[in-house]
Structure 1
Amino acid sequence: MGEKQTILVVDDAPESLTLLSLVLSKAGYAVQLADSGEKALQLISYCQPNLVLLDIQLHGIDGLEVLKRLKAATLTSEIPVILISGHTDFEKRITGLNLGAADYITKPFEMEELRIRIKLQLSLRNNAIVLTQQTESLRETNQKLQQEIERRQSAEDELCKIIGRSERSRLALLSVLEDQKITEAKKQVLLNVVQQEKCRLEALINSTTDEVWFTDCNGLFTLANQVAKKEFNLRNDNIDTLSLAKSVEILRPDGTPRPAQEAPVLRAIAGELVRNFEEIVRTPATGELRHRLVNSNPVRDETGKIIGAVSVVRDITEVRRKEEKQRQLEIQVRQSQKLEAIGQLSSGVAHDFNNLLGGILGNTELLLMEIAPGSSQRHHLESIVASCKRASTLTRQLLTFARKAPAEIRPIAVNEVIRQVVSIFGRTIDRRIEIVTELSAAPLFLEGDQSLLENALLNIAINARDAMPDGGQVIFSTNSIFLDKASIAGTVDNPEGVYVKITVEDTGTGIPKDVLSHIFEPFFTTKELGKGTGLGLASVYGCVKQHNGYITLDSLVGRGTRFDIYLPLINPPENREEQEVTELVHGHGTLLVIDDENVYHSILKEMFEMLGYEVLCYYDGITALEYYREHFATVDGIILDINMPKMNGVECYIKLKAINPDVQVIVASGYGDNDANTVLLSEGVMAFVQKPFKISELSAKVAELIAKKNHI
């Protein structure tokens, strides 16, 4: 694990500093606090935070002036700053963004939204640093490459001159010998001159780390340096160009085969000056594909006639690997940003959709309470309730992908979950599909939300079914496995230890490689329109991450697909049975409902008044606090929403508790803010109810809440 990243929070409201410090610390950050602009500038000079969370409205030096000074200083100019502003601070937000603020968030804000914005800005900053380092390294490498190319180009030109002189000397000598017009003494002198030229030439071409080749005008390699001979396992110089080109695998840069006739040396013999021609060659020395940059020049005699060609070849494999690594890094950054954005969109859609469902479901259940059991209209109302529950499952999948679905954490018997999934799955498949179970003989337990896990496994199984239209096998297996750090290398924040391994394998059509990278994206589907939402495997991924596990995927087209899920193993729990509440629980007392949705006001007020309670409703935390401050002794319980204007549920609860430390609260939210829920529950909130909730469930929790208050 790396060092904690530090966040400097600048706000002159003590309660905001306390809340943000608590939430950010629980999110794993080191937190520095400043209650003024002056103190912030002093702190930042030595603590060097990774991010600054800066309120615009500050006493003394305001937030915009602090931002301006941070961006003007070299040491702090690159630190991302997120501005905190009110709804009326539009012009100041624009000014802040122009001054260099990375982002802004408007009060009142959701803690989950703030956490995501902070995480995104830190991720962007870290990725920017990595990209800058990679880019600088690549720039330096390219600069060195350019300098080396220029130096070697100069050497090539000189080499061409030497080779030209050498070849001309050799041809002249042959001509003289043939005509027998000189004496033996003169012949020996000429031979010595040629030998000296040859030695100088060999010394020159063997001093470079690049390959050097000389080819005569007939396409025969007549000279090669030691690097070239070693790379191609050559023992002599006279090698036919076409024969060599045909004997090794040579590709164009795009990976397509390169015809032998396109060889740069043959083009140079034809009179072309070939510069920076890139090719990919599987060299015999190593057997691996190497990227090469080829420069070929024609060699001419004193009359200008082409008598051969010289080629210098530089290996640029490492340069291309660095470029590919850089490209993959940029793809990963874009992918993570896309998934983060889609996660935010998904949670927002689920929040609004759950509020709509709450209105439909609540009013329908109220009608059911008033209609006689034998009424002809009862069936239609029950059908509406069932449809709402199915729609609620869809929003839960969205929240699961965004890792915001509130989990009902309890010990889970893994083999029982598999048997339950197989029982449900078996009723939905073609009889030509065989289900095989290979379950661990030893009982396996993990801690998590059983409904989420069942839904995840069922989604994998359904995808397996769809991949086997002509039948096949689906194999469910479980076992325990110890994973050390080497085994889980590449996974995110998974410690070594004993894990439950759940495998779902099929013998279906398999998944093409171009689809694998998108398989866990929400709304991505290869099914026909109307046959899939694209949320199944996205919710699987979110469920596994939410249970502190990880998932791997192996697929081969035509052979099948295998999912392996690894989740932390726990010791077997003590036996404890819980019964689901299905009956309405009556009671009495005064309830305070704090929720900005009018539909919940009418539903909760009517429902609980029918059950015997007095109900008061408020649209925001500020006005509710004003009432509670004067009448807290008469209020028996509070139903509190998290996502509200003016003041969110977390801030409201902290202030309610300041008025009355024994305040009894149930949190009812459709947003699934896990961080806020964790804070609230640790601070004493009794329970969390997910919208759209069941009337029976909420009535039981309210009765339990008031019973607890009466015993205080």
Structure 2
Amino acid sequence: MKPPLRILIIDDSPEDAVLLVRELKKEFSPAMERVETEEAMLSAIEKGKWDVVVSDYVMPEFSGLAAISILHQQNRDLPFIMVSGQMGEELAVEAMRAGAHDYLVKGNLSRLIPAIKRELKEASDRDKRRKAEAALHATEARFKSLVEQSLVGIYLLQDGIFSYVNPKFAEIFNFQQSELVDGRALLDLVIDEDRQAVSEICETILGYSDKGPPCYFRGQGKCGKDLQLEMHGTKTELNGRPAIIGTLLDITERKKAFEQLRQAQKMEALGQLAGGIAHDFNNLLTIINGYSTLLLRSLDRESPQHQEAEQILKAGDRAADLTRQLLTFSRRQILAPRMLNLNDQIRGIEKMLHRVVGEHIYLETSLAEDIDLIKIDPGQVEQIVMNLVVNAGDAMKDGGMMSIATTNAEIDQSFASTHPGSVMGGYVMLAVTDNGTGMTEEVKSRLFEPFFTTKEMGRGTGLGLATVYGIVKQNGGYIDVASELEKGTTFRIYLPRLKQQNTPVKLVPEVPAEGSHTILVVEDEPGVLNLVTHTLKNKGFNIIGTTDPLEALEIFDQRGNEIDLLLSDVVMPFMNGPKLAEALTQKNSALKVIFMSGHTDDKVNFEKILENGTPFIAKPFTNGALVTKIARTLANLEDRITELGADR
């Protein structure tokens, strides 16, 4: 089957057109239209799609040269062959210059078919080339758009000098593109200490056949800002010589966030360790302090042994304070939070704060009157303020100014995204500011670690700020620290705010700490069990003691009708205190319950139990506090205290 050929013939002679078609039929299956005027040609071009145009040179109303001009104006790239009865080299040259692809003589059409085949092929090649160029231009445009709009810095480096940088690259260093290209060296943007390393990495990249290793370095922008940067590069060629093309990332904020996260994880691990240590020490201190108290009562106040026993008890009390601080840091102490106004708490200790800082420091307060309430253990507020004030005072040995301020505050998404550990929401903010010595970044990174201190030997335990950290985290808050050497420090404490009103507290009368009731004591530490048993028996109580909660179940099955109160540790093997209490109160709903513990692993759920009114006493406790707690509970005063909102 012969290939089709759509041919537009421009000729005033129908006979000549027939001769052309007859010649073409030898190789093609032609479809032809003949025109002889400009108007007819324009109409034919508009309505038809042609493969080739064959035109006479001169016609009465038109010409081949005019036809070529029309095709150019219409931007049509069609094979154009001039066929004329006139012969002459000058005419052929003129036609070819005008744009004809070949020139034939009407009396000799033997070259017509070869000429058309050749021009069809060349037209096809030109069309493919145009499409390839258009695709290339489109690809280049897309690539340029991607590079120019990229959120990653992109660069082209040759001989250490920038040949190209995209807008993001220039923005990282606070330059214009024109300020960096063809003149600025990469090492100009690197701090002195890292230049050697960056130079070596560039040499390494040029030695690779593929992508080279990443390079991490500290850069310096136009305004002197220190930058943490990550650079990647691949060897390429530019004008026949080796070059490097690659990307640059500003990881300053990412690295800062990572360091903050790592610090938070380290603090959490330290908190778990501190909590475990404090739990064991609380049991030991309960025994030490309890028996010291019993020993003191049995000795004459004037005897040397009484004074020695007093020193044992004082040392035990100091150890108990340290243990409480460790538990606060680890957020495992049991609390009695209530709604309160932060300003009221600060005003209540303001006179004491002035005595603590001394006359050489001017202390002022700026307390916003419209602040909302917070829910927190009142004693914890005093711990936060006191520790921050003492810490600020230590930074101003030669005197200075200190301020305490409160206000309502919001943590928004922008703040939360750059301060790991903070949560969006509404807070009451406490700020303690001093103009003392300030801190280095190294000190700031270890600020809340327990036992870390910059004070000289013998001054401070290193637990003050660790305690603040634990309290704030335990209450769902956040700490932000800003400090510069010789410019002072500001601690900002964010505590979640409430809109509720506080319930006034009413006093409850005391009751005699004596009794003859029967108490089931369940404590897995034998030393604590023996101390409690001895203490309560001396007060007239009947005691049934065990170190095993499963044995306590058996005892209650046998003697449950005798038992008035359960005194149980919280954390025990096989069964914890709340589970034991639940099992026993199901058998006797009138049974009174008191929990005792130095800390609990399930603090959140345990505090919910306490909110329902179950009494609790924290280890290490004094013998008198234990007896009073039991007497109150047996007299039903604990429930009344809970209803009135007083501290347990």
Q: Where does the alignment leave 5 or more consecutive residues of structure 1 unmatched?
A: 1-202, 300-308
Picking from 515, 519, 534, the partner of 1:587 is: 515
- Mapping 1:244-255, distance limit 5 Å: 244-245=184-185, 249-251=188-190
Whole-Å separation in 2 of the counterparts to 1:227 and 1:493: 35
**1:310 matches 2:241:** yes
Counterpart residue type for residue 363 of structure 1? Y
Contact 1:476 1:502 in 2 (8 A): yes
C-alpha distance 494-321 of structure 1, shift in aligned 2 (>3 A): closer
Counterpart residue type for residue 316 of structure 1? T
Counterpart residue type for residue 523 of structure 2? D
**1:366 matches 2:298:** no
Three-state SS of the structure 2 residue aligned to 1:633 is coil
Q: TM-score, normalised by structure 1?
A: 0.57
Q: Deviations over 1:177-212 (max 9, x none)?
A: xxxxxxxxxxxxxxxxxxxxxxxxxx9999886766
Q: Deviations over 1:9-48 (max 9, x none)?
A: xxxxxxxxxxxxxxxxxxxxxxxxxxxxxxxxxxxxxxxx
Identical columns (%): 30
Whole-Å separation in 2 of the counterparts to 1:476 and 1:679: 33
Counterpart residue type for residue 314 of structure 1? I
After TM superposition, give the deviation of residue 481 of structure 1 in Å: 3.8
Whole-Å separation in 1 of the counterparts to 2:290 and 2:300: 18
After TM superposition, give the deviation of residue 580 of structure 1 in Å: 10
Contact 1:205 1:212 in 2 (8 A): no
C-alpha distance 333-504 of structure 1, shift in aligned 2 (>3 A): closer
After TM superposition, give the deviation of residue 417 of structure 1 in Å: 2.7
C-alpha distance 213-393 of structure 1, shift in aligned 2 (>3 A): closer
Whole-Å separation in 2 of the counterparts to 1:551 and 1:256: 34
Whole-Å separation in 2 of the counterparts to 1:236 and 1:685: 71
C-alpha distance 273-428 of structure 1, shift in aligned 2 (>3 A): same
- Which residue pairs with 2:589 in the alignment? 661
Contact 2:571 2:600 in 1 (8 A): no
**1:678 matches 2:614:** no
- Which residue pairs with 2:483 in the alignment? 555
Whole-Å separation in 2 of the counterparts to 1:584 and 1:298: 96
Q: Deviations over 1:669-702 (max 9, x none)?
A: 12244235235436x6621100111333222221
C-alpha distance 427-482 of structure 1, shift in aligned 2 (>3 A): same
After TM superposition, give the deviation of residue 651 of structure 1 in Å: 2.8
- Mapping 1:167-206, distance limit 5 Å: none
After TM superposition, give the deviation of residue 421 of structure 1 in Å: 4.2
Contact 1:399 1:672 in 2 (8 A): no
Whole-Å separation in 1 of the counterparts to 2:158 and 2:339: 75
C-alpha distance 707-212 of structure 1, shift in aligned 2 (>3 A): closer
After TM superposition, give the deviation of residue 568 of structure 1 in Å: 3.1
After TM superposition, give the deviation of residue 633 of structure 1 in Å: 0.8
After TM superposition, give the deviation of residue 531 of structure 1 in Å: 3.1
- Which residue pairs with 1:543 in the alignment? 471
Q: Deviations over 1:636-664 (max 9, x none)?
A: 11110122233322332222223223321
Picking from 577, 581, 586, the partner of 1:649 is: 577
After TM superposition, give the deviation of residue 528 of structure 1 in Å: 3.5
Whole-Å separation in 2 of the counterparts to 1:249 and 1:453: 52
C-alpha distance 424-388 of structure 1, shift in aligned 2 (>3 A): farther
Whole-Å separation in 2 of the counterparts to 1:336 and 1:346: 15
Contact 2:371 2:428 in 1 (8 A): no
Three-state SS of the structure 1 residue aligned to 2:635 is helix
Three-state SS of the structure 1 residue aligned to 2:599 is coil
After TM superposition, give the deviation of residue 624 of structure 1 in Å: 1.4
Contact 2:155 2:247 in 1 (8 A): no
After TM superposition, give the deviation of residue 561 of structure 1 in Å: 0.6
Please, which moves more after superposition, 536-545 or 667-676? 667-676
After TM superposition, give the deviation of residue 371 of structure 1 in Å: 4.7
**1:496 matches 2:432:** no
Three-state SS of the structure 1 residue aligned to 2:560 is helix
Whole-Å separation in 1 of the counterparts to 2:480 and 2:179: 49
**1:473 matches 2:401:** yes
Three-state SS of the structure 2 residue aligned to 1:634 is coil
- Which residue pairs with 1:525 in the alignment? 453
C-alpha distance 334-251 of structure 1, shift in aligned 2 (>3 A): closer
Whole-Å separation in 2 of the counterparts to 1:370 and 1:584: 21
C-alpha distance 555-249 of structure 1, shift in aligned 2 (>3 A): same
Whole-Å separation in 2 of the counterparts to 1:272 and 1:333: 36
Three-state SS of the structure 1 residue aligned to 2:326 is helix
Whole-Å separation in 2 of the counterparts to 1:235 and 1:678: 63
Contact 2:157 2:245 in 1 (8 A): no
Whole-Å separation in 1 of the counterparts to 2:638 and 2:335: 29
C-alpha distance 428-379 of structure 1, shift in aligned 2 (>3 A): farther
Q: Deviations over 1:277-309 (max 9, x none)?
A: 96888799xx9978474758798xxxxxxxxx7
After TM superposition, give the deviation of residue 494 of structure 1 in Å: 4.3
- Which residue pairs with 1:181 in the alignment? none
Contact 1:273 1:297 in 2 (8 A): no
Contact 1:264 1:294 in 2 (8 A): no
C-alpha distance 273-354 of structure 1, shift in aligned 2 (>3 A): closer
Counterpart residue type for residue 250 of structure 1? L
- Which residue pairs with 2:530 in the alignment? 602
Counterpart residue type for residue 249 of structure 1? D
- Which residue pairs with 1:388 in the alignment? 316
C-alpha distance 227-551 of structure 1, shift in aligned 2 (>3 A): closer
Whole-Å separation in 1 of the counterparts to 2:630 and 2:197: 80
- Which residue pairs with 1:74 in the alignment? none
Counterpart residue type for residue 454 of structure 1? E
C-alpha distance 392-416 of structure 1, shift in aligned 2 (>3 A): farther
Counterpart residue type for residue 505 of structure 2? R
- Which residue pairs with 1:565 in the alignment? 493
C-alpha distance 395-297 of structure 1, shift in aligned 2 (>3 A): same
- Mapping 1:268-307, distance limit 5 Å: 291=231, 293=233, 295=235
C-alpha distance 368-572 of structure 1, shift in aligned 2 (>3 A): farther
- Which residue pairs with 2:622 in the alignment? 694
- Which residue pairs with 2:267 in the alignment? 339
Counterpart residue type for residue 681 of structure 1? L
Contact 1:250 1:258 in 2 (8 A): no
C-alpha distance 640-310 of structure 1, shift in aligned 2 (>3 A): same
Counterpart residue type for residue 696 of structure 1? G
Whole-Å separation in 2 of the counterparts to 1:236 and 1:381: 78
- Which residue pairs with 1:459 in the alignment? 387
Whole-Å separation in 2 of the counterparts to 1:519 and 1:660: 51
C-alpha distance 378-556 of structure 1, shift in aligned 2 (>3 A): same
Taking only aligned residues, the RMSD between alpha carbons, in angstroms, comes to: 4.7
Counterpart residue type for residue 405 of structure 1? Q
Counterpart residue type for residue 576 of structure 1? V
Contact 1:421 1:457 in 2 (8 A): no
Q: Deviations over 1:211-247 (max 9, x none)?
A: 66788xxx9x9x967979x97755999x7x6xx449x
Whole-Å separation in 2 of the counterparts to 1:693 and 1:346: 20
Counterpart residue type for residue 403 of structure 2? I
C-alpha distance 315-214 of structure 1, shift in aligned 2 (>3 A): closer
Structure whose CA Rg is larger: 2
C-alpha distance 578-500 of structure 1, shift in aligned 2 (>3 A): farther
Contact 2:565 2:593 in 1 (8 A): yes
